[in-house]
Structure 1
Amino acid sequence: MKTILEKNGSSIEYRPVGQFEETRFEKIHNVIFSDSNRASIQVAEEIATLIKKKQKENKNCVLGLATGSSPIRVYEELVRMHKEDGLSFSNVITFNLDEYLPMEKDNRQSYWYFMHEHLFNHIDIPAENIHIPDGTILGGDVIDYCLAYEKAIKKAGGLDFQLLGIGRTGHVGFNEPGSHYNSGTRVITLDHITRVDAAPAFLGIDNVPRKAITMGIATVRSAKRIVLLGWGQNKADIIKKTIEGEISAQVPATYLQEHKNCTFVLDTGAGSELTRNKTPWLVDESLDWTENLTFKAIVWLCGKTEKSILSLTDKDYNDNGMSGLLATENSYDLNIKMFNRLQHTITGWPGGKPNADDTNRPERAEPAKKRVILFSPHPDDDVISMGGTFDRLIEQGHEVHVAYQTSGNIAVSDADALRYAGISKRISYSDEAQKLIDDIKAKKESSFDTLEVRKLKGNIRRGESYAATRYLGLPDENVHFLDLPFYETGTIKKNNLSDADIEIMMNFIKEIQPHQIYAAGDLADPHGTHKVCLDAVFESMRRLKSEPFMNDCWLWLYRGAWHEWDIHEIEMAVPMSPDQVLKKRYAIFCHQSQKDGVMFQGDDAREFWMRAEERNRDTAQKYRNLGLSDYAAIEAFVRYEVN
């Protein structure tokens, strides 16, 4: 299907799923794709179309470019087009949105480095046509430099196309909350949340610069065409505020509501909070009320009315835009049906209950003893995300294997590594231990770990993993470390998933021939390790689909420490007793290097065990509010069919 169309002969409109229908809630044109990869390719196609159009007119094409994780796939596709399709960038002039201050060009965290690594080093753009704010400009020279940057944009003819991402503060570029509608290129102090989000790349928030140079709101708005990229559930709240909220300096991206040629290109996670997606019955009265949509709506209605499912009345439905549900059945029958559906998700037997009727149970009764693989992206996601279920599967006699997909070495601090190296040296002096100590002490800010230090950090994570699995009673021979190659770069930036990664995964799955696979389905960051590890699971299962054992293999997805499945999505809910909650906590405690100041915890200062317990308690509370039994905590799963 053709998905990029000329609009009024001047700009380009996306129609990937069906024609966009503006609602009374939405103030910015937006389209939602099933995944960020497909969306990125189409954005790259729009840019390529514009470049070629300008070439035919013998004109320059002036692009405003963004950095961060969101545009990486767009740049990869543009590079592919250059190398494989002959797309030339000889007529392209670029202006980047921003740069940290102070920041040297050759620093791996600089946007100069980022742009050259992901785009400029791989295309034929003339070096003199590249403009990136200079992070070495200091003192009184900064103001003159910013004015000159504005003049350079105007001299080039203005921005034909501006590519944007969006921060959780609602910033575009580094225009933080409070930025003025008419602001130009300038120095700005970074918001704390922005610095927290950048902390993983800088190996800690203390290393993140506090200031930056950024194009202003007025500069961005001057572009003839704007496309903003939004990926992942963690962007959903700010996307909703930007598209549906009032224009406010506190959410600078809302200024884009007044741009006449702006499109937000989103994936399903980023667009999930928009009214037409979260509560479509408030937008469209002629909905096709499928069972899944009905269940979602009833769960929402219970929250709005603060009633349990069986307490809902005809009036509740009619007063909240859901009268269409009552066209074919009354509220009492509807409530009973949905209550039973929710009740049937609850099971104390995640591997299936032997010798029991499994008609209304989430898992099969047979085989009574199942072979189970629990894939854990990092060496602690298993116990953080599903420690209670992990424990239950072992207790109930299943053959459980845990497979840690990556070493997790990047998340071990230098201080912890130095402590372990020092202990090793004191126990038995060796030149190797001394070299590790010297390498760690000599490490400069944001520099690479040596291979030996990375191995040390990986072994620290391994030791902690064994401590946790032994505590749960899992034999050591059932603990596997896959060390997928994509992860082993020594930096936050990882390689793309390769056939070597898939081969490791496939060989392991074939060896175990599981009846159940559990995998991390936390897709908040589409470029994060969790997403790559999940893609590895999906691709491996696709390639193995013809194997006979795969006919009996079910895939269950769990969520990480930050997000839980919405109640209407949950297909298996495993309750935990207070004792099991404590046991899960102690298993998480075994991962000492990730306790008390873990490196990449985001803007949530709580430790992982605290987040996990609150999430599990919250899920149990939601079930209780809907009229179900009172449990201490619940872990939730969604079954996924790999096509």
Structure 2
Amino acid sequence: MERNYKLPKEGGLEPGADPADIIRKFEKIYTNIYENEASGAMYVAREIAGCIREKQSAGEMCVLGMTTGKSPVGLFRALVELHKKEGLSFHNVVIFSLDEFFPISPKELQSRNYSMHESLLDHIDIKPENIHIPDGTLPQDKVETFCRDYEALIEQYDGIDLMVLGTGVQGQIGFNEPGTYTNTRTRLVALGNESRKAAASIFYGINYVPHKAITMGLRTILDAKRIILIAWGEEKAYVVKELVEGERQLLVPATCLQEHQNMEVVVDEGAASQLTRIRTPWLVGRCLWPKRFIRTAVLWLCEQVDKPILKLTYQDYVDNRLGQLLEISGMAYDEINIQVFNDLQHTITGWPGGKPNADDSTRPERAQPFPKRVLIFSPHPDDDVISMGGTFRRLITQGHDVHVAYETSGNIAVHDDVVLQTIDTARECGFEDKYDEVKAIIAGKRKGEPEPLELRKLKGSIRRAEAKAACRHMGLNDRTNVHFLNLPFYETGGVKKGLLTENDISRVVKLLQELKPDQIYAAGDLSDPHGTHRTCIEAVIEAMYQIQNEPWVKDCRFWLYRGAWQEWDLDMVDMAVPLSPDEVVQKRHAIYRHLSQKDVMPFPGEDKREFWQRAEERTQNTARMYDKLGMAEYQAIEVFVRLDLFKL
């Protein structure tokens, strides 16, 4: 399971056509872009290994500053691999951790101390006396002295040789919040609301997140002899662009790193997606121009000049540095306009399963076979109706044999009071009274620890019942066409999930071999290296690879939708399914069936709206974008990207 799963990308900078100084001209910090987190993390691990070995050969200690949290997970894994497989020794290494929550015990699963030991320190040969992590158990009146001593100890080692950093979505470094001055040193800080919300999931709710933390200051960080900042996934794309190409500003603390003379940024393609040489490479160099990349440039141009496709002029192209497109393609501007207009128009279809007895030469989905057997993979028990509820409904009403596979239980996303309400309802209906028993289980929960298995089972049952109700609302037989896979990687009882294993893959393989679908829909959030959606799509793709020689597989079309938080950019879209006002309402009512997720979600992220509100605004915004580009006007549109699996 070492495949590099990613969406195919066409066009971009022509290799070797322009020197690096030109294509990086907007970048104020040297930036390395890797295909995925694993390759980027291994690069950083080898840079750390080089520093360690150089110091070893000189008989010196290697002093590392190390970030914590989600960003270094893959890096820690790579370092452990180098230690075990290549004999990298840490006997001369001193580690200073960047931060720690306060107050918190090192035995709590959420503490930086615990996670660093679990992921790295317990698996290497570093000496315990060379490990330095801020102490979250101190009385508050002792913290200031501790912080002074922490700084003095760093100085005693002649400073930090290599500092590895991550960054929050607001540009936080460690727990240095927006507005932090660059002269700060290690200290106790109050956590901002955004930082506490970011940590809410691992603490099982924001109410349990500490209000304070101990963190190295920006000056402590900037005094390091060398700095590498790592960032993975699309959620970091904005802050990476600000850090690498933006202006220095207090509200984005990471931008202060621009002043460091030995600084490097290492990112994957998701985190780099907003950098100029990736997002709009024609602004920095000569490009290759396949058809889909032309669509990317033209839609960008429409946004720049606020015009629909067919109203773009020759001067619009020239003034916005797209003259090379006209030159290299050999087409006139109006020919390009028509090509892109038709290309985008042909993505629109009211027949997501294919229209029978129709010319399908310009349609996104083939006409035959009809009806099709369709399998929708849903990572959680509500992603199907949230992200493609209108298409789901249309596939059923147009006569296809639709099946839904819920990959995980989603049990941790159910509030305790929802469980009690459900048990109370059963009691009031005259069923066995389990209310006091369940209440006692909830009362016995321990802060920061995985939930009891009995409680997780109840929560999983609630979500299964909700999913079946939504499917019935859609017109699906919940006894024959709804499948619950309960993939084991998810069932840890906590927010941190396990690794994908053959046990997960085999469950998906079994269902695929049973159904032999003509169409598959799956959540295609490939950019988040640690998210449940990413793990679920990897399970499906790996399962397809394992059975790729079965005859039905070569005729199966694979469509990707996105989750509740994002939508595909229009330059990527292969199929767009318009929804009528009535279909929007039907989709909303299906989402309503997921009662445990209504009103207040346990892990809402930045967006406080309910799922149905996000879903409707997203699909309506997509329809408005199509309309603005000169297409027909629709109430809402759901969009999909086709994945040609065996060209990955």
Q: What does residue range 66-215 of structure 1 map to in structure 2 within 5 Å?
A: 66-215=67-216
> Is residue 294 of structure 2 the alignment partner of residue 291 of structure 1?
no
Work out which of the residue numbers 525, 529, 542 in structure 1 matches 2:528: 525
> Is residue 497 of structure 2 the alignment partner of residue 491 of structure 1?
no
Q: What's the C-alpha RMSD, in Å, of the aligned pairs?
A: 1.5
Work out which of the residue numbers 359, 362, 370 in structure 1 matches 2:361: 359
Write the letter of the residue equivalent to 2:167. I
Go from structure 1 to structure 2 and tell me whether the alpha carbon gap of 1:315 and 1:227 turns closer, same or farther (over 3 Å shift).
Answer: same
C-alpha deviation, 1:20, in angstroms: 5.0
**Alignment partner, residue 307 of structure 1:** 307
C-alpha deviation, 1:429, in angstroms: 6.8
Work out which of the residue numbers 561, 565, 570 in structure 2 matches 1:567: 570
Paired residues of 1:20 and 1:31 also in contact (CA < 8 A): no
C-alpha deviation, 1:365, in angstroms: 0.5
Question: What per-residue deviation string (whole Å, max 9, x for no partner) do you get for residues 566-619 of structure 1?
Answer: 010000000000000010000000000001111111011100110110000010
Q: How many Å separate the matches in 2 of 1:546 and 1:150?
A: 60
Paired residues of 1:224 and 1:261 also in contact (CA < 8 A): yes
Q: How many Å separate the matches in 1 of 2:533 and 2:42?
A: 22
Work out which of the residue numbers 454, 458, 468 in structure 2 matches 1:452: 454
C-alpha deviation, 1:370, in angstroms: 0.8
Q: How many Å separate the matches in 2 of 1:23 and 1:86?
A: 37
**Alignment partner, residue 395 of structure 1:** 397
Go from structure 1 to structure 2 and tell me whether the alpha carbon gap of 1:416 and 1:43 turns closer, same or farther (over 3 Å shift).
Answer: same
Paired residue secondary structure (1:140): helix
**Alignment partner, residue 281 of structure 2:** 280
Larger mean Cα displacement after TM superposition, 102-111 or 423-432 = 423-432
Paired residues of 1:422 and 1:437 also in contact (CA < 8 A): no
Paired residues of 2:72 and 2:166 also in contact (CA < 8 A): yes
C-alpha deviation, 1:103, in angstroms: 1.0
**Alignment partner, residue 601 of structure 2:** 598
Write the letter of the residue equivalent to 1:324. Q
Go from structure 1 to structure 2 and tell me whether the alpha carbon gap of 1:428 and 1:50 turns closer, same or farther (over 3 Å shift).
Answer: farther
Q: How many Å separate the matches in 2 of 1:357 and 1:449?
A: 55
**Alignment partner, residue 63 of structure 1:** 64
Q: How many Å separate the matches in 2 of 1:387 and 1:138?
A: 53
Q: What does residue range 414-453 of structure 1 map to in structure 2 within 5 Å?
A: 414-427=416-429, 434-453=436-455
**Alignment partner, residue 8 of structure 1:** none
**Alignment partner, residue 586 of structure 1:** 589
Paired residues of 1:233 and 1:523 also in contact (CA < 8 A): no
Aligned residue pairs: how many?
A: 626
Go from structure 1 to structure 2 and tell me whether the alpha carbon gap of 1:177 and 1:430 turns closer, same or farther (over 3 Å shift).
Answer: same
TM-score w.r.t. the length of structure 2 is 0.94
**Alignment partner, residue 464 of structure 2:** 462
Q: How many Å separate the matches in 1 of 2:47 and 2:340?
A: 45
> Is residue 324 of structure 2 the alignment partner of residue 324 of structure 1?
yes
Paired residues of 1:97 and 1:173 also in contact (CA < 8 A): yes
**Alignment partner, residue 346 of structure 2:** 344
Structure 2, unmatched stretches of 5+, are 1-14
Paired residue secondary structure (2:645): coil
Larger mean Cα displacement after TM superposition, 236-245 or 135-144 = 135-144
Q: How many Å separate the matches in 2 of 1:122 and 1:431?
A: 48
Q: What does residue range 601-612 of structure 1 map to in structure 2 within 5 Å?
A: 601-612=604-615
Work out which of the residue numbers 546, 554, 566 in structure 1 matches 2:549: 546
C-alpha deviation, 1:373, in angstroms: 0.9
Question: What per-residue deviation string (whole Å, max 9, x for no partner) do you get for residues 511-562 of structure 1?
Answer: 1111111110124532010110011111111111111111101111100111
> Is residue 367 of structure 2 the alignment partner of residue 374 of structure 1?
no
Paired residues of 2:522 and 2:560 also in contact (CA < 8 A): yes
Question: What per-residue deviation string (whole Å, max 9, x for no partner) do you get for residues 410-431 of structure 1?
Answer: 1111121222233344545758
**Alignment partner, residue 629 of structure 1:** 632
Q: How many Å separate the matches in 1 of 2:116 and 2:625?
A: 45
C-alpha deviation, 1:169, in angstroms: 1.1
C-alpha deviation, 1:432, in angstroms: 5.8
Q: How many Å separate the matches in 1 of 2:361 and 2:461?
A: 45
Go from structure 1 to structure 2 and tell me whether the alpha carbon gap of 1:425 and 1:450 turns closer, same or farther (over 3 Å shift).
Answer: farther
> Is residue 618 of structure 2 the alignment partner of residue 615 of structure 1?
yes
Go from structure 1 to structure 2 and tell me whether the alpha carbon gap of 1:367 and 1:53 turns closer, same or farther (over 3 Å shift).
Answer: same
Work out which of the residue numbers 635, 641, 645 in structure 2 matches 1:642: 645
Q: How many Å separate the matches in 2 of 1:226 and 1:244?
A: 17
Paired residues of 1:63 and 1:92 also in contact (CA < 8 A): yes
Write the letter of the residue equivalent to 2:491. E
Paired residues of 1:231 and 1:525 also in contact (CA < 8 A): yes
Question: What per-residue deviation string (whole Å, max 9, x for no partner) do you get for residues 16-35 of structure 1?
Answer: x9885453311011111111
Q: How many Å separate the matches in 2 of 1:88 and 1:590?
A: 55
Write the letter of the residue equivalent to 2:33. I
**Alignment partner, residue 7 of structure 1:** none
Write the letter of the residue equivalent to 2:628. N
C-alpha deviation, 1:185, in angstroms: 0.5
Q: How many Å separate the matches in 2 of 1:333 and 1:551?
A: 35
Paired residues of 2:622 and 2:638 also in contact (CA < 8 A): yes
C-alpha deviation, 1:445, in angstroms: 2.2
Question: Following superposition, which runs of at least 4 residues in structure 1 exceed 6 angstroms of deviation?
Answer: none
Q: How many Å separate the matches in 2 of 1:266 and 1:116?
A: 24
C-alpha deviation, 1:112, in angstroms: 0.7
Q: How many Å separate the matches in 2 of 1:626 and 1:616?
A: 16
Question: What per-residue deviation string (whole Å, max 9, x for no partner) do you get for residues 266-292 of structure 1?
Answer: 1111111111111111111x2222222
Write the letter of the residue equivalent to 2:142. D
Structure 1, unmatched stretches of 5+, are 1-16
**Alignment partner, residue 230 of structure 1:** 231
C-alpha deviation, 1:188, in angstroms: 1.4
Paired residues of 1:20 and 1:30 also in contact (CA < 8 A): no
C-alpha deviation, 1:139, in angstroms: 2.8
**Alignment partner, residue 255 of structure 2:** 254
Write the letter of the residue equivalent to 1:276. R
**Alignment partner, residue 220 of structure 1:** 221
Q: How many Å separate the matches in 2 of 1:342 and 1:504?
A: 37
Bigger RCO of structures 1 and 2 (CA < 8 A, at least 6 apart): 2
Paired residue secondary structure (1:618): helix
Go from structure 1 to structure 2 and tell me whether the alpha carbon gap of 1:75 and 1:20 turns closer, same or farther (over 3 Å shift).
Answer: farther
Go from structure 1 to structure 2 and tell me whether the alpha carbon gap of 1:20 and 1:224 turns closer, same or farther (over 3 Å shift).
Answer: farther
Write the letter of the residue equivalent to 2:347. T
Work out which of the residue numbers 531, 535, 538 in structure 2 matches 1:535: 538
Question: What per-residue deviation string (whole Å, max 9, x for no partner) do you get for residues 322-363 of structure 1?
Answer: 011222111111111110000000000111111111110000
C-alpha deviation, 1:137, in angstroms: 2.2
Question: What per-residue deviation string (whole Å, max 9, x for no partner) do you get for residues 369-405 of structure 1?
Answer: 1111100000000000000000011111111110000
Paired residues of 1:276 and 1:282 also in contact (CA < 8 A): yes
Q: How many Å separate the matches in 2 of 1:539 and 1:43?
A: 27
Paired residues of 1:418 and 1:440 also in contact (CA < 8 A): no
Go from structure 1 to structure 2 and tell me whether the alpha carbon gap of 1:20 and 1:90 turns closer, same or farther (over 3 Å shift).
Answer: farther
Paired residues of 1:421 and 1:437 also in contact (CA < 8 A): no
Larger mean Cα displacement after TM superposition, 443-452 or 457-466 = 443-452
**Alignment partner, residue 6 of structure 2:** none
Go from structure 1 to structure 2 and tell me whether the alpha carbon gap of 1:424 and 1:126 turns closer, same or farther (over 3 Å shift).
Answer: farther
Paired residue secondary structure (1:406): coil
Paired residues of 2:445 and 2:452 also in contact (CA < 8 A): no
Write the letter of the residue equivalent to 1:399. D
Write the letter of the residue equivalent to 2:550. E
C-alpha deviation, 1:433, in angstroms: 5.2
Q: How many Å separate the matches in 2 of 1:221 and 1:200?
A: 30
Q: Percent identity?
A: 52
TM-score w.r.t. the length of structure 1 is 0.95
